[in-house]
Each structure stands twice: as C-alpha cells, then as structure tokens.
Amino acid sequence: MKYLSEYRNLEETKKVLDEIHKITTREWNIMEICGGQTHGLVKNGILELLPEKIRMIHGPGCPVCVTPLNLIDKAIELLEKGVIVCSFGDMIRVPGSKKSLLEAKALGGDLRVLYSPLEAVTIAKENPTKEVVFFAVGFETTAPANALSVLHAEKEGVTNYSILASHVLVPPAMEAILDDKFCTIDAFLGAGHVCAIMGTEEYEPLVKKYKIPIVITGFEPLDLVQGIYMAVKQLEENRFELENQYARVVKKEGNIAAKNVIQKVFEIGTREWRGIGEIPNSGYVIKEAYKKFDAEIKFNISHIKVPENSACIAGEILRGIKKPHQCEQFGKTCNPSNPLGAPMVSSEGACAAYYHFSVT
C-alpha cells in the first residue's frame, strides 16, 4: 500500500530515533492528542525507544473514552424501548451505569455494529415500522459521515431515522488541558485525521496564546517519530510554531466538502466530556432545522443523568495528569474483561493500550 509501507520502514524510523536522541538535552513532556497515536506508539514499542528525557503523555483523543456515561445509558434506554440502535464497534462494550450496550443486546435489544452511518439509513428504510438510531459519537473525523446520514435521510424522506449525537472538538479540549493548573505539557502532537477534515488554521491561535509547539502528526511509526522529532527540535531551539508532519494527508484548509456538510447539520455548542466535565463550545449539537433527527428530543431522553464511577480516574488519565499504571485499579479491579471506565475499553484508550501492549 502506497504511503503506508514507506511509513513503517525500519531503517528510516531508526534514523529519526537516532536524531531525537542526538538533539534531546532536557526533559520534555509531549502530549499526543489522538488515541490512534497512543495506540501506534504503544503497539510499535516506540515509547521504550525514545530517550528517557522524553515523556509522552496520552491525550483525550479517544472518542469512546470521552463519550459521557449519560449517552451510553440513553442508548441502552432506546434499545430497551425497542429501537434499533446502530453503533461503531468499540462503543458497545463500554459500561454504562448498569450495563453495556452489548449486555443490553443479550437481553433482547436490537443492536447493530456498523462501519458507516449511511448503512443505518438503509436499515431504517428496510424497517419502516421501527425506529432506527445511529449512536453518533466521535471527534471532527466522524462528524461529516454522521451529518451526511442526516442529509441522506432527509433527501430520501426517511422519517424513522435519527442520531444520538455526542460530537466533541479537539481545539477546546486542548485549551481546557492547557488551562488546567496541573498542566505540564511542553508540546502537542496534533491529531492527523481530525486536521485532514478541519485543516490546520484553528491551531494557530493556540500556538500563539500558549506559546506551545503543535506538530500535526500521522499514525504510522515513521510519522510518530518524525512528529516527536519536530516537536523536540522546536523545544530545544526555543521555538513555538504550528508544523505539519502529516502533509501527505492534511491540507491547510482541510476538506472543504466535509466541512460544508458538518456546518449544514451541526452548530457549535456546550458538550460534556467523560472524565473532564462540561466544556463550553466544545462540541457539535444538531441545528434547529434538523432537530427532528435528534434522538434525544424524538424519544424524550435528555433527562437521563448518571454519576461516574468514583474509583475510575479516567479524568486524570485523559488530562495526562496520571499514567494508566499509576491508577490503583489498573490491571486489578479494572481490566478489559471488567472495565471500570472507558479508557480501558476502547483499543485507543490509554489504559487498554498499556494493558494490552506495554512491556513495562
């Protein structure tokens, strides 16, 4: 596969790692925003190949991990009401306050795992006597496809389709992390695929305001070490700039067609982040014109609110204050078969990545 094997090249990756070792003189804390990057770092054993002085902090960019508990309970409520609930795969094992979607399915709920929300519209067409809801979670990356499903349903006159939306945005989360008084982060690896949609411009103000390097980075081993190298080089040279390591995919302006689709269906509003809390202007909410596709309104479930498990320190993990193995529950009461919180469930979650792959 072009653009893939080149970025898994052993020799090239080693060269860049050597360069990182050469230029590093001080201790630096670098946060990779995206769960896919955390996964790549741990799965390829990159963390142990970095200089000891470089500490990678795993950011909140795992869509499953930041989806609030309320939303999972709402989806389960829909399943129990006889609605066909469609979801991305790794959402279904996340524990709600009483059970997971997978357990609700075993009790008779009609749960479908899909790769594309457009398939949920097809399911709605094929089941005209039933209601079909797509569990529309994720960052800017999944927003275009979810918005498109709404536009598609409207165009096709499908009235038994709606979405349970919980879209969150990367820049406000970065700002919330930087504003935290415990924040020790010196540089960010920006989320490559989010920027493929949104472009890079919205990161310029963050770089200036917080005087912090941001390097938009991809997901393959060579991408990751290049991104880290560029961040360390800036820090060592006392620079703070927006750089784009992932230029083969990310354009400055992003994907305009995708952004148009998002803007048609969604507007920016307050969103709750699991483990972090409510952040103003941090997510997408469905615009007035498309409210009839909003499952929360359609099924009157917005009142469902539940507290988080107090033993789970997901909030501290997601803000990079603690590492997974610094949690007392890690690997003991909390493991992938019995996760206390979302970061242990999703393969992109920092806790699951450490549990599954980490040698130390």
Partner 1 sequence: MKDKIDIGFETIHLGHGSGGELTRNLLDAIIFKTFSNPFLDQKHDGSIVDFKGKIAVSTDSFVITPIFFKGGNIGSLAVHGTVNDVAMCGAIPKYLSLAFIIEEGLKVIDFISIVNSIKKAADESGVLIITGDTKVVERGKGDKIFINTTGFGEMHPKANISVSNIYEEDIIIVNGFIAQHGMAIMSEREGLEFESNIDSDSTNLNFLVKDLLDEFGKDIKMFRDPTRGGLGTVLHEIANDISKGVYIKEEAIPIEKQVAAACEMLGLDPLYVANEGVFLTVVSKNVASDVLQLMQKHSKGKNAAIIGSITNNHPNKVVMESLIGGKRIVSPLVGEQLPRIC
13-to-89, 219, 220, 224, 250 alpha-carbon distances in Å:
31, 13, 10, 9, 21
Nearer to partner 1 by C-beta: 2 or 155?
2
Least distance in angstroms from the C-beta of 289 to partner 1: 27
Interface positions, 136-175, toward partner 1 (CB under 8 A): 137-139, 141-142
Nearer to partner 1 by C-beta: 52 or 179?
52
If binding is defined by CB under 8 A, does position 1 make contact with partner 1? Answer: yes
Q: Which strands form 266-273's sheet, in the order they lie side by side?
A: 111-113, 84-87, 132-138, 161-168, 277-286, 266-273
Least distance in angstroms from the C-beta of 83 to partner 1: 17
Q: Residue for token digits 């980075």?
A: 217
Stretch that binds partner 1, among 41-49, 170-178, 250-258, 317-325 (CB under 8 A): 41-49
If binding is defined by CB under 8 A, does position 93 make contact with partner 1? Answer: yes
Contact 221, 8 (CB under 8 A): yes
Stretch that binds partner 1, among 9-17, 159-167, 169-177, 262-270 (CB under 8 A): 9-17
Give helix then strand counts, H and E, for the chain.
15, 11
Nearer to partner 1 by C-beta: 71 or 185?
71
Residue 245 sits at φ, ψ, to 5 deg, of: -75, -25
CB atoms < 10 A from the CB of 10, how many?
A: 9
Stretch that binds partner 1, among 43-51, 73-81, 256-264, 279-287 (CB under 8 A): 43-51
Give the one residue of 36, 254, 283, 341 binding partner 1; rule: CB under 8 A: 36
Phi-psi category of residue 240: left, alpha or beta, with phi > 0 → left and psi -120 to 50 → alpha: beta
Interface positions, 216-255, toward partner 1 (CB under 8 A): 221
Concatenate the DSSP letters of all residues of 328-356 into one string: TTBTTTBBTTB-SSGGGTSTTSHHHHHHH
Nearer to partner 1 by C-beta: 191 or 206?
191
If binding is defined by CB under 8 A, does position 82 make contact with partner 1? Answer: no
Nearer to partner 1 by C-beta: 129 or 310?
129
Nearer to partner 1 by C-beta: 3 or 182?
3
Strands 84-87 and 266-273: unpaired
If binding is defined by CB under 8 A, does position 318 make contact with partner 1? Answer: no
Q: 196-210 burial string, b = 16+ CB within 10 Å, else e?
A: bbbbbeebeebbeeb
Give the one residue of 58, 105, 193, 274 binding partner 1; rule: CB under 8 A: 193
If binding is defined by CB under 8 A, does position 102 make contact with partner 1? Answer: yes
Q: Contact letters (x/-) for partner 1, 272-301, by CB under 8 A?
A: ------------------------------
Strands 132-138 and 84-87: parallel
Least distance in angstroms from the C-beta of 59 to partner 1: 15
Contact 75, 164 (CB under 8 A): yes
Short-list 73, 197, 60, 81, CA closest to 135: 73
Give the one residue of 30, 54, 71, 92 binding partner 1; rule: CB under 8 A: 92
Nearer to partner 1 by C-beta: 116 or 309?
116
Token reading at 71: 């939303």
Concatenate the DSSP letters of all residues of 77-97 into one string: HHHHTT-EEEE-GGGTTSB-S
Least distance in angstroms from the C-beta of 238 to partner 1: 30
Token reading at 213: 């390097």
The residues binding partner 1 (CB under 8 A) are 1, 4, 8, 10, 13-14, 36, 42-49, 63-64, 88-93, 102, 112-115, 119, 137-139, 141-142, 193, 221, 336-337, 346-348, 355-359
